[in-house]
Each structure stands twice: as structure tokens, then as C-alpha cells.
Amino acid sequence: MKYVDEYRDGALARSLSAAIAAEARPDRTYAFMEFCGGHTHAISRYGIEDLLPANVRMIHGPGCPVCVLPIGRIDDAIRLAMRPEVTLCTYGDLMRVPASRNGSLLKAKAAGADIRMVYSSLDAVRIAEANPDRQVVFFAIGFETTTPPTAIALKAAEAKGLANFTIFCNHVLTPVAMRAILETPAAAGEPPIAVEGFVGPAHVSTIIGTEPYRIFAQHYGKPVVIAGFEPLDVMQAILMLIRQVNEGRSEVENQYIRAVTTPGNLAAQRLTEDIFELRDAFEWRGLGIMPKSALKLRDAYASFDAEVRFAVETQPAADNPACECGAILRGWKKPADCRLFGTTCTPETPMGACMVSSEGACAAHWTYGRFRAHEKTSTAPVRRAS
Amino acid sequence: MTAQSPIKAFRRKLDLRNGRVDMSHGSGGRASADLVAQIFRDAFANEWLDQGNDQASLPLPAGQRLVMTTDGYVVSPLFFPGGDIGSLAVHGTINDIAMAGARPLYLSASFIVEEGFPLGDLDRIARSMGAASRAAGVPVVTGDTKVVERGKADGVFISTAGVGVVPEGIALSGDRARPGDAVILSGSIGDHGVAIMSSRENLEFETAVLSDSAALHGLVAAMVAAAGPSLRTMRDPTRGGLAATLNELAHQSGVGFRIDEEAVPVRAEVAAACELLGLDPLYVANEGKLVAVVAPEAAERILGVMRAHPLGRDAALIGTVVADERRFVQMTTSFGGGRIVDWLSGEQLPRIC
């Protein structure tokens, strides 16, 4: 596949692996966080851990929008969907996320709720247009990457004069969460926060550009290398981070120059700014309530706001107290350290944020890497057949 | 019994252009008889069906073991690039029989039709089914038709049964994979799932990918003739794809698998579509492929026979069976790392077959 295979080349991976092994100093360890679920997935899916020396550790961050959506908001969506007049449109990966009282959108659908899986925000607008007697609610989630498509759907509905289309907005912001990870003090008895640098977001950065990460390099002294989601991108970014650490630099570098520019996508930023404003606070599953970390519709667009039209009042819902997602998302613990992992908590029956989507740290480890839990960390890759 | 009327019974011809199935077509009365006679009997025509009884009376070869299977088809859409629900039902049922190393003999078909379904589409499905069954040499010998109210089904559902016979000395079973055995895949994966997805209403995208829907009993017969006793087990990786099949076999046999990603054939168009949709071809359905676990010393011979058959041209050795009490399916990625190929979690795509 042209323009994709080039970034998954095994021979290039081996030479990058050798360069990382040569440049990583044997007398110390390195701990980097890949913020995005897309990177976590690439690391797990391609077995990148097998290509890194044992003293380079990757911490899987909270950058998976499905994972960090709090249970209370899923409950809200289910309540909306159960209203007889409502058709709820959602991206497919939210369907199975467990809500309170053992519920989920999938179960609500089976119980009669009109829930449609869509692949694009504009599909929801089309459904609203085709069903003028239904109240169509678009369950909008995601980081800065999926916010502009939600804005475009709103603009399309406005242009068509649709009075039956609203948005249940759950868009959240990347840099705020990165800061929270660095600022949260280690809990009593926990080792101090280990993150020494970030593999920076790929798609998010195409929208917001490189500037919002400067604070991490300058104020917190943590290097950031913005990287694409292909496995070679990730390996190259890890090499760039090791070089920064070794040379005592902390800068924002852009490995993903084929897509990310310094200012980002200004048209998308303007559109987002026009329609959305900061919420005072928003709960992130696994990380808790964070101020100014999410977006809501501006008052001017209140007629498109499902929270206004249906008077949504989110009720907090707690995770299982034994769930270690908060510590795992901050790099204090590894998935296998959690006593729920692989016992009561699996991708079929997820208990916490890190297991609900394949991009979550625990789900990725369970799905792709759990053979390592029983073997030494430096497991050699399996031998080729034939 | 009344004496046969000297006047030829009047038969109204079904309006295949504009007509629709209504409740009377399932009533058991004249309309039902017309539907069966003009659509199904015509499409499937064979001496056993023509007996016209509620059951087919069939000869059986002596001294062989009988295998039987049943299958339901609810694929959406009903017509897709490379096939339709009718041909799929024939191929899928034949393949389930063939995976035992068996020779399929007879099929049955039961149709559940939704009120309002176009008669022309039903005719098209029946003809496609008839053509597939004739091409495979496996007749549909008995059938049934029911009509349900609008909204109680989605167009047409087809249930089938199939019977076949296993030659002496052939004993394939999912619990027979042993460490050291070779794993062979008959061709590229993911074609059927991508073809279906490309024609889904809310997902339409342009692709040249056709479903691989095909009857594999000819390929299997060649494999059995060449090295029957060396075949441990065979399975067609339908729903859940290659990943599900390997995990099933690992569990049934109490072994692990080691697979080489680079050895698994995936068409460029399929890989591209999966990339776009965020799918892993390992989990995408196939309807004309098989996985065979074979004794290592026979692997090359079996591979040669498969590659000489049109449905096994791209057959490849994709890995080996290993001892592993955890029953993991592990894979060396094309990137050079290792990963697990787990069971599919949840539903990747509903109503694929």
C-alpha cells in the first residue's frame, strides 16, 4: 500500500532499533509517555517493545477519547437515547462502553432505544434531515481532531435550517491533560512521576500546531516530539527523545512534518473558536475532574445543544475502587500491577478507562502483549515461519 | 382423493417485474404453490426436488461416515460485489461439509421472506442459488418457504442444511493440531468482509474488491487425494476471520500458534480499505478460504496441490503449531516485533454472512 508500507518497513525498523540501542546510555533508564491512543496502538500492534532496549520504557497516556469519557456521560447518552422522541447517533466504539448499573448503549439499543452508529458527524445531519419528526442527537466525543467535524456538522444543520438536530458535546483538550499528568503529585507511597518526555500527538497537532506544547519543553523541562501514528514514526520519535535527554535539551520537535505545521490548521481553529468555549471543569475517567479541560457550545448555539434542549444533568458515577487506571495513566503502575487486570477486567468486561477501547493502555497490553507478562521483558520476537 | 380434473389448472404467472411477496405466498394455498413452482422448483430443478414430497428420498454411498451441518444466512445487503445471499448460502454450507474432508452430497434450503419483498429479487436469489449449486454439483433437494409480516425480517433470510460423506481413513478434527504441525492458508484474507462493507448503505466506498465466496470442496478433494491422512484439521475462516479460526483451533487442540504476518496474503485493495476503516484484515470475514493444519512432512506436497487448484493459487505456509498451555496465537509482525492475535472483542461488522 503506497504511502503506508513505507512507514512500516521492517528493515528500517531494525536500523532504527539499532540506533536507539546504540544511543540509549546503558547506565540509566528512559521513561517516555506516548500521550495518544493511536501511538499506544501502534506500539502494541507492531510489537515495538521488542525493538527497544530494556532500559527504554514507554508509558501509555490518556489520549483515548473513549477511555477518558466518564461513566456519567455515557449514562446521560443512554437516558437521551431512551427518550421516545430521540434518535441518538454515535461513533461505533462507544456502543460497548459500560455505563452505570451494567448498562451500555448496545444494551439500550437492544431494549428499544433508537441508536444509530455513524462513521461521520455529517451522517447524523443526514439522518436528522431524513427524519424531521425525530429529535436527532449527535454524541460528540474526541480531542481537538474530532472537534472541527462536529463544528462542521453544526454549521451544516444550521444551513439546512434543521430544528431537530442537537449535539451532546464531550470534546476535551489535549494540553490540559498533559499538564495534569505532570502536575499531579505522586500519591502517598507511590514513586514519583516518571515521565521524562512526550511522544506528542499526531492528528491533534495537525489541528493545533506545535505551539501549545512549548510550555512542556520550557516550563516543565520535558522534551516533546510530535510524531505520526505509523510504527516507524514512533521509533524515530523515541530516538529523537533519547537524543534530547542525552544532550540535556528540552525542545518541541516535529517528527511528523508531512502533516503538522507550526501554526496548525487555522481554518479549523477559527471554526472551533466560533462555536465552542471552555467548560469550567470536566471529569476525565481515570484522571478526575480537571478545570478548563473540555469544550461546550457557546450560548449563541444553544439551540443546537442537547444539554440545553433536554436539560441534561450529569450524575457522577464512580469506577470500581480497586481500578488502578489513574495510576496507570500517569505511569506509576503497569497494567499487570492491577489486580482487576485480566481477571474481572478484560476487553469484554472492562472495569476502567484503560480497558474500554483497544487504544487504552490495559486493552492494548491484554490484546497484543500479554504473552510478555509471563516471559522476561526482553522477549525475542517470535521466529519467522518457513 | 378427487379424480384429476380434465381441465388444466389455471396458473397465474408471477409478476417478477413489479410483484411483491405478500402474506398469501406463505399461506400454504395456491399462491404458495405458485411461488414454489415458479421460483424455487425452476431454479433448483433436480430429480429429488421434483419428487415433490415433503422430504427428499436419497441414496447413500455405503461404508462411509455421514457428516451434516446447518447454517443461517442474514447477510446485509442481499446483493454484494462477487455474490448474493443465495450463492453465499450454497458456498457456505458446502464449505462447512468440506472442512471435514468430506464430499458434499445434498443441500436443503429454507426461506424466510419478508412481506413486500420484490418477487424479482427473490427470483434472482433463487437462480443464483441454483446456479451455484449446479456449478458445485451439490443439489438442493428439499426446501421450505415462510412469509412474515413487514418489519419482522429484513428481506430474505435463508437457512440451509447440508450432508456429505467422509472417505475411509480421513479423520479431521479441531483437536488434532500438534506442536510442529504446519499451518497453511489457501489464499488472501479479508475479501468478503471488505466487499460487503463497500456496499453497506452508510459506508459506500468505491473498490474493486469482490467477495471471495466460493465452494471449496474441489480444492479439499484434491488435498485429501494427495495427503488425506496428513491433514489434521481444516476450517474456513468466516466470521471473526483468520484470528478467530486460529484461536478456536488453539483452544480445541490445547496448543499455541506462531504466525508470520508477512506470509499472510492480503490484497492491496483490501489492506487499503481496512486501513481506511480502522480494521485488521486478520479479523475480517472470508467465504472462500480455508486454513489447514497438516503434518510438517506433508506441508510442501499439500501446498503444491493447493497451488495447482484455481481456489488455492495463493496458498501460503503462514506459521506453525507450538506447545503453549496458554493457547496463545502469537505473530511476528511485518515490522519485526511480536504480538498476540487475540479473539475478536465485540462485533467488528454485523450480518456479514
Interface touch B333/A374, C-beta < 8 Å: no
Q: How far does B316 lie from chain A, in Å, by closest CA?
A: 10
Check whether A182 has a pLDDT greater than 90: no
Residues B97 and B213 in one domain: no
CATH code for the domain of B76: 3.30.1330.10
Residue A384 predicted with pLDDT over 50: no
* Residue B173 domain flag: no
Query: Domain-by-domain residue ranges, chain A?
Result: 5-63+175-254, 67-172+264-309, 325-366
Same domain, B188 and B336: yes
Which residues on B lie below 8 Å from A376 (Cβ)? none
Whether pLDDT at B313 is above 70:
yes
Could you write out the DSSP letters of every residue in A325-382?
HHHHHTTSS-GGGSTTBTTTBBTTB--SGGGSSTTSHHHHIIIIIGGGGGS-TTPPPP
Claim to verify: residue B122 and residue B226 sit in the same structural domain: no
Query: Tell me, what's the pLDDT at B40?
Result: 94
Please state the φ and ψ torsions of residue A41, each to the nearest 5 degrees.
Answer: -65, -45
Cβ neighbours of A123 in B, within 8 Å: 202
Q: Are A133 and A104 in contact (CB under 8 A)?
A: no
Question: What is the rounded distance in angstroms from the CA atom of residue A85 to the CA atom of residue A285?
Answer: 29
A195: left (phi over 0), alpha (psi -120 to 50) or beta: beta
Which range is most confident: A62-66, A96-100, A116-120, A154-158?
A154-158
Q: What is the pLDDT of residue A374?
A: 43
Q: What is the pLDDT of residue A378?
A: 33
Domain assignment present for B43:
yes
Residue of A nearest to B262 (CA): A384
Q: Is residue B15 part of a domain?
A: no
Pair (B214, B259) in one structural domain:
yes
Instruction: Output the CA torsion A254→A259→A265→A267 (10° steps).
Output: 170
Mean pLDDT of A360-375: 81
Tens-place pLDDT, residues A308-361: 999 999 998 888 888 888 888 887 888 989 999 999 999 888 888 899 888 889
| SS3 assignment, position A33 | strand
Of A9, A123, A382, the CB nearest to B338: A382
Lowest-pLDDT choice from A34-48, A93-107, A238-252, B192-206 = B192-206
- CATH number of B196's domain: 3.90.650.10
Q: What is the mean pLDDT of chain B?
A: 92
Each residue's pLDDT tens digit, A186-236: 565 655 567 899 999 999 999 999 999 999 999 999 999 999 999 999 999
Provide the total of helices (H) and of strands (E) in chain A, helices listed first. Answer: 15, 13
Q: A–B: how many Cβ contacts below 8 A?
A: 100
Domain boundary among B166, B195, B212: B166
Phi, psi dihedrals of residue B173, rounded to the nearest 5°: -160, 145
Last residue of a domain, one of B166, B194, B224: B166
pLDDT for the residue A351: 87
Are the beta carbons of B317 and A10 separated by less than 8 Å? no
Q: How far is CA A330 from the centre of its chain?
A: 14
Does B345 fall in a domain?
no
The class level of CATH for A67-172+264-309 reads alpha beta
Say what the pLDDT of residue B221 is: 97
**B262 pLDDT above the threshold of 70:** yes
Q: A4-52: per-residue pLDDT in tens?
A: 888 888 899 999 999 999 999 999 999 999 999 999 999 999 999 999 9
B206 and B108 part of one domain: no
Whether B177 maps to a domain, the answer reads no
Least confident of A74-78, A130-134, A141-145, A324-328: A324-328
As a whole number, mean pLDDT of residues B67-73 equals 97
Total domains in chain B come to 2
Local confidence band at B98 (pLDDT 50, 70, 90 cut-offs): very high
Q: Which residues of A touch B336 (CB under 8 A)?
A: 10, 13-14, 17, 47, 50-51, 381
Does one domain contain both B140 and B252?
Answer: no
Domain that holds residue B205: 182-340
Q: What is the pLDDT of residue B9?
A: 60
- Reported as a pLDDT band with limits 50, 70 and 90, residue A281 is very high
Question: Could A382 and B268 be called an inter-chain contact, meaning their C-beta atoms sit closer than 8 Å?
Answer: no
Amino acid at site A2: K
| CATH T-level assignment (fold) for domain A5-63+175-254 | Rossmann fold (3.40.50)
